[in-house]
A and B are shown apart, each in its own frame.
Chain A
Amino acid sequence: MDTKTEQPDTVIHQPQRLKIMAALKALPAREQLEFVRLKTIVGATDGNLGAHIVTLEQSGYVEVEKDFIGKKPRTRVRLTRAGRRAFEDYIAFLREIVGQE
């Protein structure tokens, strides 16, 4: 059975955070995704998604921007350059295990 003993980036390795990173990575560079849309894509609850975004933000992988549309609050998230690089490294790590590279 093929395994890899080297440890992956633990921040991204968590399944929900991995999906958040994948959703953001699919956007053009510097594009933002609204919290509500991200919630639908990831399939998470408000609280759960919020907590994961804080973790990713603290790691410098995402940036959060909050503003108002009229009186309605809006939260948007985007991948940072460090986040993009970390995600690409993680993908390379997975591919190495699978044997695609």
Chain B
Amino acid sequence: MPIQRQDAASALQEIANTEKQSHTAYHYQKAAPHLFLWGAIWLIGYAVTYLRPGWYPLWDVLIVLGFVGSFLISFRTRGKGSHASFGWRYAATFIAIFLFVTALFAILPPQSSLQIDAFFPLLIALWYVLIGLWTRGTRIALLGLALGLLTVGGYFWLQHYFLLWMAVVGGGALILGGFWLRKV
């Protein structure tokens, strides 16, 4: 039986919808473990430095662990079609971020530790918003937006409890976000 134009158009629309859903689910599946990891790091890092202000160097250890952990997650979940240059591109991404932050702080030195505490969550929030926009991942973009708003809100209105706020709300939001992404 011949296919009519309307049926063909409807099939093409169905294909487009399915492709979009699959594409989004694919990226969410890749992102979720990173959110669990970084949520745990935020939770531990901010909670410990709130309770023990002298333990700031703990962040150095946690950030290194986070980068190594993220690399291992990405390496394990990378597809068979991934390029062999994956490791180099991953390393180059973090070197670029490190250089950017170093240059930024040299040009605009932070006036307080609170500014640094708020800056990195904002940077990560921006990162999620951009990833969400460019991968059509609405949930990732919304999560980034929520993180940004929570950070700014805590910075201006909860300065005395900012670290605790970021531990519970920031770290918690990342972990919950990971579960949210996995639900697709």
Which B residues are CB-close (under 8 A) to A11?
none
Residues on B with C-beta less than 8 A from A23 are 18-19, 21-22
Q: Which of A1-17 contact B (CB under 8 A)?
A: 1-5, 8, 15
CA A5 – CA B2 in complex, angstroms? Answer: 5
Indicate if B103 sits at the interface (CB-CB under 8 A): no
Chain A residues whose C-beta falls within 8 Å of the C-beta of B116 in the assembled complex: none
Could you say which residues of chain A place their CB within 8 Å of the CB of B3?
A: 3-4, 8, 94, 97
A2 touching B19 by the CB < 8 A rule?
no
Minimum Cβ distance to chain B for residue A70 (Å): 15
Chain B residues within 8 Å of A42, by CB: 18
Residues of chain A lying within 8 A (CB to CB) of residue B20: 26
Complex interface bits, B19-32 against A, C-beta within 8 A gives 1, otherwise 0: 11111011001000
Question: A85 within 8 Å of B by Cβ?
Answer: no
Instruction: Evaluate contact between B81 and A91: CB separation under 8 angstroms.
Output: no
- A52 in contact (CB, < 8 A): no
Please encode chain A, from 16 to 40, with 1 for each CB lying within 8 Å of some chain B CB and 0 for all others.
Answer: 0011001111111111110001001
Give residues in A with beta carbon < 8 Å to B.
Answer: 1-5, 8, 15, 18-19, 22-33, 37, 40-42, 78, 91, 94-95, 97-99
Q: List 18 A-B contacts (CB under 8 A).
A: A1-B5, A3-B4, A4-B8, A8-B3, A19-B15, A22-B14, A22-B15, A26-B22, A26-B23, A27-B26, A27-B79, A28-B79, A37-B25, A41-B18, A41-B22, A94-B15, A97-B5, A99-B5
| The 10 residue pairs across chains A and B that have the minimum distance between CB atoms | A30-B81, A97-B8, A31-B79, A23-B22, A26-B22, A26-B19, A22-B18, A3-B2, A2-B5, A26-B23
